[in-house]
């Protein structure tokens, strides 16, 4: 894969195939922690961190452990194990060596263990038969797309605080409608084939 191919892959993963707005992965943290832009950015950073590293780790586990033994069908179980262990490891590592980052990520870091976007990034990289570098690039840029989506949505929700919707729509319903509108806006990218 050439450098251009990787750039195109990243662009596609961020905008065209955005994890939240095009594939609807990771909707739980997307709705749960998008109330303020700075916490949304914290969550996005934590996801980016884990997704990039798990992209590398799961690729290695698949190609050096599962494939030689013909156990490709175990990849979902194995990847969950790898991601959970990785998140735990990263948490300990950050706590010791980068306490400032650990404090700013806070509760979001362990929450990522159960974020389906991380698992699906790992599985899609295998499904699309990426090599190591493009698998890592795919994980990284998918997470950037997630960060973009959650931060943009946090801005929208900030504006909605001052809106006065009909009583039945107050709170979560109007949030879901706004998320749907944003997804439709991102659907504008779907015509681009790279």
- Contacts with other proteins, residue ranges (CB under 8 A): 61, 65-66, 69, 71, 74, 77-78, 81-82, 85, 88-89, 92-93, 95-97, 99, 162-164
Closest separation between CB of residue 113 and other proteins, Å?
13
Closest separation between CB of residue 56 and other proteins, Å?
15
Give the CA count within 13 Å in the CB-facing half-sphere of 25. Answer: 23
Nearer to other proteins by Cβ, of 21 and 108: the residue is 108
* Cβ atoms of residues 179 and 31 within 8 Å: yes
Nearer to other proteins by Cβ, of 25 and 79: the residue is 79
Closest separation between CB of residue 51 and other proteins, Å?
18
Nearer to other proteins by Cβ, of 96 and 193: the residue is 96
Nearer to other proteins by Cβ, of 104 and 189: the residue is 104
Closest separation between CB of residue 6 and other proteins, Å?
29
Closest separation between CB of residue 74 and other proteins, Å?
6
Cα dihedral 35, 41, 42, 47 sign: positive
Nearer to other proteins by Cβ, of 89 and 132: the residue is 89
**Cα distances (angstroms) measured from residue 152 to each of 10, 27, 142:** 19, 14, 15
For 57-65, which contacts have Cβ atoms below 8 Å and span 24 or more sequence positions?
Answer: 57/82, 57/86, 58/82, 58/83, 58/122, 58/125, 58/126, 59/122, 59/125, 59/126, 59/130, 59/132, 59/135, 59/136, 60/132, 62/126
């Amino acid at each position: 894969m050439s450098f251009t191919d990787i750039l195109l892959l990243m662009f596609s993963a961020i905008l065209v195939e955005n994890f939240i707005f095009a594939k609807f992965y990771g909707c739980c943290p997307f709705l749960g922690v998008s109330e303020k832009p700075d916490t949304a950015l914290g969550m996005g950073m934590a996801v980016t961190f884990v997704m990039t590293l798990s992209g590398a780790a799961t690729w290695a586990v698949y190609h050096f452990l599962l494939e030689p033994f013909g156990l490709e069908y175990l990849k979902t179980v194995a990847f969950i194990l790898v991601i959970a262990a990785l998140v735990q490891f990263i948490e300990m590592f950050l706590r010791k060596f980068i306490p400032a980052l650990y404090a700013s990520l806070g509760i979001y870091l362990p929450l990522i263990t159960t974020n389906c976007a991380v698992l699906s990034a790992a599985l899609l990289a295998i499904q699309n038969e990426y090599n190591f570098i493009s698998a890592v690039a795919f994980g990284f840029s998918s997470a950037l797309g997630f960060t973009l989506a959650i931060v943009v949505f946090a801005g929208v929700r900030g504006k909605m605080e001052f809106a006065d919707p009909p009583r039945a729509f107050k709170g979560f319903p109007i949030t879901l409608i706004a998320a749907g509108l944003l997804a439709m806006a991102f659907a504008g990218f779907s015509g681009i084939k790279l």
